[in-house]
Structure 1
Amino acid sequence: MELDQMITSHQRALSWIPRSHPAYTAYIHRLAQSQFKRYELSEQKEDLDKSIVHYTESIFLPPSWGFYLNVVQVFFQLVISLLRRSEEFKQPEDVKCAIEYLRYLRGLPLDTFEVSYKVVTTSLVEALAIQVELEADGTRDIEEMVNLCQGLLTCHSSENDPTDAITALISAILCKFDQRKQVEPLDGVIQCLRDALKICLPGSHDVLLGLAISLAIRYAKNYSNDDYDEAMTLLESVIASSPLGDDPYQFQIRFRHPPRFLRAFGLASIQTQNI
């Protein structure tokens, strides 16, 4: 109720003052923030749509007197809103815009605007993962995701944790696997996940499972016994150490787009499948 009253208050103030008023931009920005917060509670698309409109408007309006608006931060808030709408309501155009905007943001001196380079990069990986789901061909997206994740792994620190980006990469791989489509560049994906294992906590089931399935896919193409043996070892390790028990379907809750895990756990027959 308090949030509803706040939105009503902002709307009333905006109806009383002209766009040229020194406080107009501040009210528009606060309205955008409030409507996004209400969307997170209500899950009503109308709130999300309005927050996107008002974030966009606040970027292009002149600054308010006595109110500092960090335009780069607002731009990033707009991107996050677009990503949410693309994911929740399956709108490919939103994720395309978000990806373009995030690439632009990564070229800015983000520290100057108190925006985290790691957060922007991770958001780009997550946006590309959404696009892999929504688009027919995500080869270029996965290649870019691998490069971005490798960059995060290279500069890994306690303040620069790449876990979310790696999880998004794995989600994209599993989505392609579930769709029975090629995962490329497969060697790059496997190397990236191997590197991720070196810095992840022991028993990182997400990374272990993603690497196992990637090796299984490569085995189906090349029939390398080494890939088969390693994939089986990784899967057995996941099952043995998982607090979720022996049910592979429980891993579905870990990813945005759950694949057919039974195929991964039935690796013995994967050589007969056309992935």
Structure 2
Amino acid sequence: MSDADTARRALALLDLTDLADVATADGARDLCRRAVSGPVPVAAVCLWPRFVAVARQALGDSPVRIATVVNFPEGDTPIAPAIRETEEALEAGADEIDFVLPWRAVLAGQLTTAGAMIRNVKMRCGDKLLKVILESGEYPDLDKVRVASELAIAAGADFIKTSTGKTARSASIPAARAMLGVIGMTARPIGLKPSGGIRTLADAKSYLALADAMMGPDWATPATFRFGASGLYTALIEEIGGAAPGAPPRGSY
């Protein structure tokens, strides 16, 4: 596969993201415009809950999905407000919820509490996609990444996602490998979303090669694999041979 073909493949798997602290409604509209103006549409846009309704209006009947974040970025929102955030985001038109695992609780051994939170959020999501963000770069070892992956999946996650992109250490190939190992042992379909620090075609190729090797060359589709990124969009468009419309959002992944 040529680099241009790989870039096109990666573009269709992209959650084009703007979670900058300075994000605006106009920025959300521009994100949606770029999501549908490339050689192929991206899989989804990912933005703050307050911009979900803006994105829904901007995207109209587009196939691009709308993802938003809950319990983000720290992962320590109490359960009642987290449930309320989820319900409000879904009512505004979100298709997917990217929920931060209470990872500090998991590292402290409080697995029951963390699992209950995921189950309650998934209950509200119904058939909408729930991606659970592990924040894998903050874990002391890969065994903890596996424990968090197993917990999230057992509690109802449809995807497990590496990172918020808001910490010093984000996605990594070793963490993605550990997460895919757990996914491969799960009876139901589960997706993987590497996010944070993925900015170049070489980065994307590394994760796709890992997924192809571990799960098979036909496994990585928008239903099972996403990249969470903003700057990656420009790199992919340039590789395909076009000019990227607009600059990447600031402060996002």
The structure where strand makes up a greater share of residues is: 2
Higher relative contact order, structure no. (Cα contacts within 8 Å, ≥ 6 residues apart): 2
The structure where helix makes up a greater share of residues is: 1
TM-score by length of 2: 0.34
- The higher radius of gyration belongs to 1
